[in-house]
């Protein structure tokens, strides 16, 4: 299996299913985020899984520990491959999430922490009472996630190297991927798939370079060829 996770950033189930029909579950996993899940719900996740796809449920849970534990149990019972929570929810919340996933019957999803959203700069952090700069805050929250036994973190490729050095076993899931020469869309800092893997990313989240391409399967094959030229899978 390749490290590619295609982000299904669509408003409705039929659009997501039409995209999935053009992709091969042997070549990528799929990410379902807040917009699609809010509109299409668990039935869409089940439909994607029935077609053979492994699903990253990107709902970034952040609430009191008991509520997050319940949400993680519900996600695990859906059979998703990966789910995530905000590390800034604190140690007790992370530990409750870990326990909920560990105690769920059936295959255990990977439990991943979001550290600092890449949309937040130093000034935004100061406004919410955090005086650390974003890079230091990422390391602090990754440390908390590692101590609570989470399986990995979502991070920019720029952070992946430092994270790998400190916590080699913590998986690194990296968005902001663009094939060489592609449109940046609204991403500011991007890396090619091979550069992100070299920086230490384990999984690559790719949205529009595949989903907005005239032929998504060809775009995906291009990304895989780019990766396989360096990393055989
Ligand atoms: O279309 P694009 O490749 O930019 O999509 C990237 C996906 O990764 C989107 O679903 C976006 O929400 C998500 N993401 C991101 N940056 C983060 C965290 C998640 O782009 N820091």
- Closest protein CA for atom 19 of ligand 1: 175
Which atom of ligand 1 lies at the shortest distance from residue 156's CA? 21
pLDDT of residue 233: 67
Residue 60 CB less than 6 A away from ligand 1:
no
Per-residue pLDDT averaged across 179-198, rounded? 85
Other CB atoms within 10 Å distance of the CB of residue 163:
24
| Local confidence band at 189 (pLDDT 50, 70, 90 cut-offs) | confident
- The CATH superfamily label for domain 4-228 reads Aldolase class I (3.20.20.70)
The domain spans of the chain are 4-228
pLDDT in tens, 100-139: 999 999 899 999 999 999 888 899 999 999 999 999 999 9
Give the Å distance between the CA of 7 and the centre of ligand 1: 7
- Closest protein CA for atom 5 of ligand 1: 207
- C-beta of residue 15 within 8 angstroms of C-beta of residue 36: no
Q: How far is CA 94 from the centre of its chain?
A: 17
Residue 134 CB less than 6 A away from ligand 1:
no
Does the structure show a pLDDT above 90 at 186? no
Give the Å distance between the CA of 205 and the centre of ligand 1: 7
Catalytic residues: 60
Give the Å distance between the CA of 161 and the centre of ligand 1: 19
Q: Whole-angstrom Cα distance, residue 206 to residue 183?
A: 13
């Amino acid at each position: 299996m390749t490290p590619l996770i295609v982000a299904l950033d669509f408003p409705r189930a039929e659009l997501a299913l039409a995209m999935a029909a053009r992709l091969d579950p042997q070549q990528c996993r799929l990410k379902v985020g807040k917009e699609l899940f809010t509109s299409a719900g668990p039935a869409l996740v089940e439909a994607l899984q029935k077609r053979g796809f492994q699903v990253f449920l990107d709902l970034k849970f952040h609430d009191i520990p008991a509520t997050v534990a319940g949400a993680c149990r519900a996600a695990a019972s859906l059979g998703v491959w990966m789910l995530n929570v905000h590390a800034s929810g604190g140690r007790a919340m992370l530990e409750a999430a870990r326990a909920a996933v560990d105690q769920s019957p059936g295959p255990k999803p990977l439990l991943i922490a979001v550290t600092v959203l890449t949309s937040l700069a130093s000034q935004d952090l100061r406004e919410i009472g955090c005086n650390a700069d974003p890079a230091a805050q990422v390391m602090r929250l990754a440390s908390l996630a590692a101590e609570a036994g989470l399986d990995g973190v979502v991070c920019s490729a720029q952070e992946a190297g430092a994270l790998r050095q400190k916590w080699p076993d913590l998986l690194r899931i990296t968005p902001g991927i663009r094939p060489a020469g592609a449109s940046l869309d609204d991403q500011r800092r991007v890396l090619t798939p091979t550069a992100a893997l070299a920086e230490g990313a384990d999984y690559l989240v790719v949205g529009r370079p595949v989903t907005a391409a005239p032929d998504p399967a060809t775009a995906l094959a291009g990304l895989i060829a780019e990766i396989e030229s360096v990393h055989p899978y």
